[in-house]
Structure 1
């Protein structure tokens, strides 16, 4: 079993070795007994400084640790204790768990790895062998955000829709359950949660004609205990559906069930034990464009909503819809956080969220009542929130499906905030938001038709918004697309301070009792800032974009900081290609990085990013081929290979690919699926050979455009 390289920090510094470890040796490295994680442990997780037991550190998902050994006064002494190279160079988004001195982390392709949390010695690894063809079902890279713990087990959701229980001591599979219809484009990228022996898991796939739900499974046996659907089904289900779906059905029009409806629960959850309420965030509609999904409008419950459930039964309790009648991919699956805030002289038990739509919400978590809302980034799709109704006041032109005219929205489909977790510092009363400042053009498509065979089913013309080759326009667009770490006062509903970044897709946040907030950046750094004013106090060159959130823990009196680094996710794959051309491409070097005070470890020298030259064949296609290829590239290729064929460094940049040279090879891959096990399926069910050749001609055309600009110094 090749575990790659690992680095262990010791008194003498860092020892780096290449490790070929057998299963027997791994078993000997694991302690004979592993402590059990029970309900009391998870309920008291906020006070457990040694461990990081659940995704958000505690059920409230605050991502705040009171640990203060590393603080604003000494953080400059923070150094690399150890690191471990990952074996897959795709986006890394996981939150590690630390339990009894062991660190558990998931990687891209739903793999799990275990390490000694002090030395980095590898303990075991598990590969669920997700079929490569599953990659095309994932809108946003083959990522995974973490495991959950209960008893002596870990629980993993895999990209192909399985929920797997692993023995925490050995990594051996205990049970596995398929949670989705694997003939459809469902995926799992989010981390499970466990409440009283029930493993809660959702799924993704709302861009691919699926219907969303969240399910609970028995932690010991894998038996499904309940399932909560977020949108109503076909008419023949109406007689037997629960009351919450009967109420939702009144808010839909047309034949939405034929397109799935959407509403996948792909990331955020939180739990209030005193109220016994599980809060889930619900995603976008299928398709995005409401004019096709629900002709005639309607709120389309429970899309883009926060929903409170009873975790024992899955019973609906209340909901708050952040974006009624969503038509912009404004999901409410972003981080949900619980806190007690003093508002107008009264301590309120609140739920906080900064969903994609650009507004920060403070909600009474017992009743779902909206307490306050304000935009945390610039937005142009509303004139504000009506505080009497709790509804956004949408400007008419924003509903592009109704007007038939394009609308450039701020924020765009990437959101003002995406999946990257926020953090809360209770003493400062601040929420730290990894924010995105970016627009997106919604161009309605006349006579749009869904395609269940891997087509990106959003109901708009995805090619119409491509940035042109003109370098000045591209540079201006890149300059207008930014990111920030925003310190937000949820009581005053205003920004306290910000750290401005030149680009979006920066990492999740961690706040500590040492007066620090930690965050990785898209530019390839790990940084610490003062919680009071945002002053940068420490920086480490990670050599790759850091999008995952860091954690902290303490063992033998020493505080550690850990983060999984590795550039990827939807932004680098889709729009990220053209943005990186302005500030310099970011490469993927996937590693787990662990720091402590006084450590002096070093990474290997940063490798030079080697990219194939722009050397396409001469363009000999027709205008008709370019037009056809542009449209099909936008719908079937752009989500992985980049805006207007400007690719990222994570997946092949097709402009630079030798495959362009041969129509036969291109057809073998794109039509027949010769590289299916590497994630590149064939599109023969959707596209004819002629249309696939037209895509090749479009890419050749674009490559020649950019080569000419490059030669002219553009």
Structure 2
């Protein structure tokens, strides 16, 4: 009996030891619960005391995207090699910034799917799929993307494309709670990363091109209860105003703007000053773009294209600064906001910096909103300068294209878009993924609003830069190193195209990916490329760096897409979404993907009249062109050029377009909106275009 008891006791000890070891294993649910559970307000606010982790979208509340980690330097970056890669099997754009705590990575991908990854093994721990209805792909102007996540007290938060905010148990990947943060009676989506600030999850929304009204909402991070909501543009005055700021804003609008939604969506930029308890929000363009339609007679249209300082506790506005009053060019101010300290005229200032779409780089006092400087960082012709006394741009008299077509710089893609810039406190430079590009605007006098389709109110045709103006670079893309004190460019690296990745900076390096698939490390002071690795597919998401078990890693998630990636590419093929992780001295083999067969133009006969082809062209422009490109020589991006389709696709064209048999892939169902004759005319237009492209080859 004694022997049995001893054996039983030994077994208990062994099992207890195993249980203890299991709890300690990195990547186990208990480990994840512990390390993510420790991510609280103070940990995020003092992230520079724990330099190994990347806890929030911009790494810190100020969104600097600077890491002081120093194992990888300009002296040894040439030894950087692949540590591991992970094929996510996705086929749409990846724009997400990963989060990492103690080697556990969280990443969002297409259709708002969330991945938990063990960086020690390069393996997926769990996947959470919010099951976004694929019909919402039609409502997303700029791909079915997600730019990132938030992490707080054991939870991972994601905004879903169909407008939900979801809290996920970080240890298990199971949903804790969700709230619907938008109304489905208009084409709202969410593509931006939520942030946790002051115990609240902050989330905005997208959809201004379809006619929605923007707002920002704060939810209790633990329960999902709505705490406050700040509308960015006023609604119908007859219904009253949700808060006093909307009554003030309504005085700057004319006509019946609320019927068009108004716009002003806050779809990307958020930053936080925990000392001032202020949340900084960037707001978007008007809906429609053209002020002549949405607000006839003019007006600044507050709070479009603005930077807002909102009290974290109450949701009340402290100050605002409007970068583009009465915006008519899709010059959003949702581009990344960075908070830091600068010495200006011998005085240390707590500042806010932004390079919005309109081409001017702004430095503001973040306590008061005082404008400290505003200078063009790319070529600008819609305004000659920003008046430092009034804070307003001095507009080109013809810029508003009321009675003529005008070629405006920057384009609607902006001098800088959502791709993250970074500030390096060692070099005192801001690194901006920028572009030189124009857009041809014209007043659409026959405009008819349709809330289910792009409704911008302009005749807009992209026009690439020419060399007529010596300031305009031959290359569309530019990585700019900008001095925010001297208000000037220090260096730039020209890129072949204008749709490249966001950036990361360390003490002496800048990392960026390109549309051609090159992942580069540059000298932060000179712009010289010190290391490059081609990853086979165009890159748009920004990289991050972090420490695991004493080793510094750099990770970038690669998946071509976004608004420019839908219909074009700069690589031979587009590989599945893949996470690449690099470290000094590593040399794992790059993944090998099957080569795509060469695409050929359709050779099927055109069986309809020229008049029907012309009707098909108009229908294609409204229903298909936001995603599909028919340009000669361009096989398309993540969405194919239909002139290169397989004949079987044309054989099933009515079933695809009318019946929605490709809806699971995100291809909309148009039955009830398009007749069989309409669909035949669209098909005929595609075949006629294929014939034209083939003959002009």
Same fold (TM over 0.5): yes
Structure 1: distance between partners of 2:127 and 2:232: 35
CA distance in 1, matches of 2:451, 2:585: 55
Conserved? CA contact 2:32–2:104, under 8 Å: no
- The structure-2 alpha-carbon separation of the partners of 1:243 and 1:661, relative to structure 1 and needing over 3 Å to count, comes to closer
Q: How does 1:124-523 map to 2 (within 5 A)?
A: 124-238=126-240, 240-400=241-401, 402-403=402-403, 405-453=404-452, 455-461=453-459, 465=461, 480=474, 482-513=476-507, 515-523=508-516
Q: Which has the larger radius of gyration?
A: 2
After TM superposition, give the deviation of residue 687 of structure 1 in Å: 4.1
Which residue of the partner structure matches residue 7 of structure 1? none
Q: Which residue of 2 aligns with 1:3?
A: none
CA deviation vs aligned residue, 1:501-546 (integer Å, no higher than 9, x gap): 1111111111112x10111111101110001101111111211111
Give the TM-score, by structure 1 length: 0.89
Q: Is the 8 A contact 1:466 1:644 kept in 2?
A: no
Flag structure 1 segments of 5+ consecutive residues without an equivalent: 1-24
Shifted more, 356-365 versus 609-618: the winner is: 609-618
Return the alpha-carbon distance in structure 1 between the equivalents of residues 27 and 497 of structure 2.
44
Q: How many residues align?
A: 665
Cα distance, 1:608 vs structure 2: 2.7
Matched, 1:560 2:562: no
- Contact 2:32 2:170 (8 Å CA) reproduced: no
Cα offset, 1:599, TM superposition? 0.5
Q: 2-side partners of 1:640 and 1:423: how far apart?
A: 30
- Whether the aligned pair in 2 keeps the contact of 1:26 and 1:123 (CA below 8 Å) is no
Give secondary structure in 2 for the equivalent of 1:372: strand
CA distance in 2, matches of 1:110, 1:165: 13
The 8 Å contact of residues 573 and 647 in structure 1, kept in 2 or not, is answered as no
* Mapping 1:89-128, distance limit 5 Å: 89-128=91-130
The question of whether the paired residues in 2 share the 8 Å contact of 1:89 and 1:589 is answered with yes
Written as runs of structure 1 = structure 2, the 5 A alignment for 1:619-634 is: 619-634=606-621
Aligned to 1:598: 585
What SS does the aligned partner of 1:34 have? helix
Counterparts in 2 of 1:506 and 1:199: CA distance versus 1, 3 Å: same
Q: Is the 8 A contact 1:30 1:170 kept in 2?
A: no
User: How far off is 1:685 after superposition?
Assistant: 5.2
Contact 1:547-1:567 within 8 A present in 2 as well: yes
**Deviation per CA, 1:158-177, whole angstroms, max 9, x where unpaired?**
11111010111111111111
Structure 1 CA distance for aligned equivalents of residues 423 and 328 of structure 2: 30
Contact 2:67/2:505 (8 A) holds in 1: yes
Asked whether the 8 Å contact 2:480–2:492 carries over to 1, the reply is yes
| Contact 1:634 1:644 (8 Å CA) reproduced | no
* SS class of match (1:348): strand
Match of 1:5 in 2: none
8 A Cα contact 2:437 2:463, kept in partner: no
* Distance of 1:56 and 1:500 partners within structure 2: 25
Q: In 2, distance between residues paired with 1:123 and 1:357? A: 42
Which residue of 2 is the match for residue 650 of structure 1?
638
Deviation of residue 289 (structure 1)? 1.3
**How far apart are the structure 2 equivalents of 1:208 and 1:452?**
5
Q: Which residue of 2 aligns with 1:49?
A: 51
CA distance in 1, matches of 2:560, 2:399: 32
Whether the 8 Å contact between 1:545 and 1:588 is mirrored in structure 2 is no
In the other structure, the counterpart of 1:539 is 532
Q: Residues 30 and 93 (structure 1 numbering): CA distance in 2 closer, same or farther, change over 3 Å? A: farther
The corresponding residue for 2:6 is none
Counting only pairs closer than 5 Å after superposition, residues 518-529 of structure 1 correspond to structure 2 as: 518-529=511-522
Q: Is the 8 A contact 1:80 1:596 kept in 2?
A: yes
Counterpart in 2 of 1:67? 69
Question: How far has the Cα of 1:30 moved from its partner?
Answer: 6.2
| CA deviation string 1:569-618 (max 9, x = no partner) | 101224x36xx4xxx54524310111111101121335433343102323
- Aligned counterpart, 2:15: none
Tell me the residue number matched to 2:604. 617
Report the CA distance shift for 1:699/1:481 in structure 2 as closer, same or farther (over 3 A). Answer: farther
Inter-partner Cα distance in structure 1 for 2:606 and 2:145: 36
Take 2:501 and 2:66, find their aligned partners in 1: how far apart are those partners?
16
Q: Greater CA deviation, 241-250 or 629-638?
A: 629-638
C-alpha change, 1:481 and 1:295, in structure 2 (3 Å) is farther
CA spacing shift, 1:560–1:668, aligned 2, 3 Å? same
- Normalization by structure 2: what TM-score? 0.92
Q: Quick check: 170-179 or 439-448, which moved more?
A: 439-448
Partners of 1:135 and 1:563 lie apart in 2 by 25
Q: 1:29–1:231: structure 2 CA closer, same or farther, 3 Å change rule?
A: closer
CA distance in 2, matches of 1:412, 1:339: 29
Match of 1:638 in 2: 625
Aligned partners of 1:611 and 1:268: how far apart in 2? 40
Distance in 1, matches of 2:521 and 2:225, equals 43
Further displaced range: 337-346 or 619-628? 619-628
Aligned Cα root-mean-square deviation (Å) = 2.3
Residue deviations 1:232-272 (CA, integer Å, cap 9, x gap): 0012233x432211111011111111110111110110001
Kept after mapping to 1: 8 A contact 2:85/2:591 = no
The answer to whether the 8 A contact 1:89-1:588 is kept is yes
Correspondence for 1:34:
34
Spell out, residue by residue over 1:618-674, the C-alpha distance to the aligned partner (whole angstroms, 9 max, x if none).
3344343343333332332222112658552311221112368757x3233223433
Distance 1:322 1:268, change over 3 A: same
1:701 aligned residue (667, 688, 694): 688
Secondary structure class of the residue paired with 2:622: helix
User: 2 CA distance for matches of 1:519 and 1:467?
Assistant: 26
Separation (CA, whole Å) in 1 of partners of 2:262 and 2:274: 31
* Equivalent in the alignment of 2:9: none
Query: Structure 2: any 5+ residue segments left out of the alignment?
Result: 1-24
Equivalent position SS for 1:396: coil
